[in-house]
A and B are shown apart, each in its own frame.
Chain A
Amino acid sequence: MWGEAMEGFFNISLVVEALPQLLTRLHITLFLVVAATILGIVAGIIIALLRIYRIPGFNQISLLYISFMRGTPIIVQMFIVYYGLPAILSSVGININRWDKMIFLILTYGLNMAAFLAEIIRAAIVSVPIGQTEAAYAVGMTRLQTFWRIIAPQAVLMGLPSIGINIVGLLQDSSIAFLLGIVDVMGKARAIGANTYHSLEAYVGAAVIFLVITLLLEKVCATIERRLTMKIIGD
């Protein structure tokens, strides 16, 4: 009787059954992560540079932006973008109601990541000893040459571990994207749950996928870090 009851409660074979179905939607999750990461890195670098070179007026705005992005839940940000962006754009006559939901998600996650990365990148850049800049100037390099050839490669090394942690964080955050109605891994898990009344097994299946991807990502990041360190400072 107990075993039977247990079966009704949690059936591991249902998890195994759910996995292939969930995996058919993995590309959606990964696409979101990759696209948002690219947006996040580009925007993060821009914000960091504007802050380092103290572009007047921009510093306060970017501090406010960073503080907001770090101080509010991503789910709130997601819905503000989802409801707010069409409202703002329609007031200037642009209709984006038919935009793919993925665009809102990429924007949300990318802009969120940019805020976190801006701080990481800024810290990485300013942590390169001033002597490196001085030596570059002393051999006659320009500001731009100094930045790209001497500072940036060393900053990349300093920032890499934190960037990796943020990408993993983004993957985990993507687990709420299905609330907008896209069918990624989580969206599929919800659908399976609704159809089979076995939500627990479906979500456990999703957890397994997230866990495996997280571990893989961590492994990849560590490898890249090791390779780049070897390549950049030979150690």
Chain B
Amino acid sequence: MIKITDIHKAFGKNEVLKGIDVEVAKGEVIVIIGPSGSGKTTLLRCINFLEKADSGKMTLGSTQVAFKHATSKEILAIRRQTAMVFQSYNLFNNKTALENVMEGLVTARKVPLRQAAEIGKNMLDKVGLADKHNAYPSRLSGGQQQRVGIARALALNPEVILFDEPTSALDPTLVSEVLAVMKKIAQEGITMIVVTHEMSFAYDIANRILFMDGGVIVEQGTPKDLFVNAKEERTKQFLKRIVPEWSYNI
């Protein structure tokens, strides 16, 4: 359903993505792991054109684009089939929780107000914020804000939701409430691409894990393939460094 071929991206001389191919099937949950600076965020941001890749192609549903030459119309079309959950939530500060969830529906997708409100409320209920519909972001905890962020993405009913380290800005005590919501929607068959450092969570929800390093995908496979039987030396090194943190959690 999503097919990315040979994506390249450099910031000045710094080559961050050096030719990556990813294919994601409908309903699949992909987790991307890898050391800091390996280009995970950049890859996600290129997919919805928050960053403009230098070359490569992408097919998303019925839309086909060349990253470099995408028109603003195509970019809008891609963005309206994707959604993103940000590391720093990025809730609209001037909107309540419900308005945050409705904003994309009403303004971008022209969903009638009443219907949008309906959807919005359902989504907020789903992420466990039934009592916070009218709260502004400034009055929500980090975990609550991120759950609104997830509801906002879900409401759009996109082909795919991109998650960029959705829990790494959170207090440890708040991480689990967000992961629980993500797990729930993963089980509903929503297509997700998730960048995370929560290894046990990755093991839990991923259909497939991609290990990125130095701007390429070094290795990929099912959680078992990767965590237990990694083939590449770089993968083993990376996992060895973080295994103590997650092994006894599984």
Is there a direct interface between A and B, measured as CB atoms under 8 Å apart in the complex?
Answer: yes
State whether B108 touches A140 (Cβ < 8 A).
yes
Chain B, residues 68-112, CB within 8 Å of chain A (1/0): the string is 000000001001101110101111111010000001100111000
State whether A234 touches B136 (Cβ < 8 A).
yes
What chain B residues lie within 8 Å of A138 (beta carbons)? 48, 50, 79, 82-84, 86
> A132-B92, A153-B94, A154-B94 are known contacts. Are A233 and B136 too (CB-CB below 8 A)?
yes
User: Could you tell me the distance between the alpha carbons of A233 and B48 in the complex, rounded to whole angstroms?
Assistant: 27
Cβ of B98 to closest chain A Cβ, rounded Å: 12
State whether A135 touches B136 (Cβ < 8 A).
no
Interface size class of B (residues with CB under 8 A): 20 to 34
User: Could you tell me the distance between the alpha carbons of A196 and B109 in the complex, rounded to whole angstroms?
Assistant: 71
Is B138 an interface residue, CB under 8 A from the partner?
A: yes
State whether B135 touches A140 (Cβ < 8 A).
no
User: Could you tell me the distance between the alpha carbons of A136 and B84 in the complex, rounded to whole angstroms?
Assistant: 10
Chain A, residues 70-103, CB within 8 Å of chain B (1/0): the string is 0000000000000000000000000000000000
State whether A132 touches B136 (Cβ < 8 A).
no
User: Could you tell me the distance between the alpha carbons of A139 and B135 in the complex, rounded to whole angstroms?
Assistant: 20
> A132-B92, A233-B138 are known contacts. Are A139 and B86 too (CB-CB below 8 A)?
no
Interface centre among B84, B90, B136 (most CB of A within 10 A): B90
State whether B108 touches A150 (Cβ < 8 A).
no
Is B226 an interface residue, CB under 8 A from the partner?
A: no
User: Could you tell me the distance between the alpha carbons of A234 and B91 in the complex, rounded to whole angstroms?
Assistant: 13
What chain B residues lie within 8 Å of A216 (beta carbons)? none
Contact partner, B92, options A136, A140, A142, A235, Cβ 8 Å = A136
Cβ of A15 to closest chain B Cβ, rounded Å: 47
Is B156 an interface residue, CB under 8 A from the partner?
A: yes
Is B139 an interface residue, CB under 8 A from the partner?
A: yes
User: Could you tell me the distance between the alpha carbons of A132 and B108 in the complex, rounded to whole angstroms?
Assistant: 15
User: Could you tell me the distance between the alpha carbons of A142 and B80 in the complex, rounded to whole angstroms?
Assistant: 10
User: Could you tell me the distance between the alpha carbons of A131 and B76 in the complex, rounded to whole angstroms?
Assistant: 18
> A139-B104, A139-B152 are known contacts. Are A131 and B90 too (CB-CB below 8 A)?
yes
What chain B residues lie within 8 Å of A234 (beta carbons)? 96, 135-136, 138-139
User: Across the two chains, which residue of chain A brings its CB closest to B93?
Assistant: A233
Chain A, residues 200-235, CB within 8 Å of chain B (1/0): the string is 000000000000000000000000000000001111
User: Across the two chains, which residue of chain B brings its CB closest to A157?
Assistant: B94
Contact partner, B139, options A131, A137, A235, Cβ 8 Å = A235
User: Across the two chains, which residue of chain B brings its CB closest to A148?
Assistant: B107
User: Could you tell me the distance between the alpha carbons of A157 and B93 in the complex, rounded to whole angstroms?
Assistant: 11
Cβ of B150 to closest chain A Cβ, rounded Å: 13
User: Across the two chains, which residue of chain B brings its CB closest to A155?
Assistant: B94
What chain B residues lie within 8 Å of A129 (beta carbons)? 90
State whether A134 touches B109 (Cβ < 8 A).
no
Contact partner, A132, options B79, B82, B93, B104, Cβ 8 Å = B93
Cβ of A159 to closest chain B Cβ, rounded Å: 14
Is A162 an interface residue, CB under 8 A from the partner?
A: no
User: Across the two chains, which residue of chain B brings its CB closest to A142?
Assistant: B76
User: Could you tell me the distance between the alpha carbons of A154 and B90 in the complex, rounded to whole angstroms?
Assistant: 13
> A233-B138, A235-B136, A235-B138 are known contacts. Are A140 and B156 too (CB-CB below 8 A)?
yes
User: Could you tell me the distance between the alpha carbons of A52 and B79 in the complex, rounded to whole angstroms?
Assistant: 24
User: Could you tell me the distance between the alpha carbons of A131 and B156 in the complex, rounded to whole angstroms?
Assistant: 19
User: What 5 new A-B contacts, CB under 8 Å, besides A138-B48, A139-B103, A150-B103?
Assistant: A139-B79, A139-B83, A140-B76, A140-B109, A234-B139
Report A's interface with B, CB cutoff 8 A: 129, 131-132, 134-142, 145, 149-150, 153-154, 157, 232-235
14 sampled A-B residue pairs with Cβ under 8 A: A129-B90, A136-B92, A138-B86, A139-B83, A140-B79, A140-B104, A140-B156, A141-B103, A142-B76, A149-B103, A154-B93, A233-B94, A233-B138, A235-B138
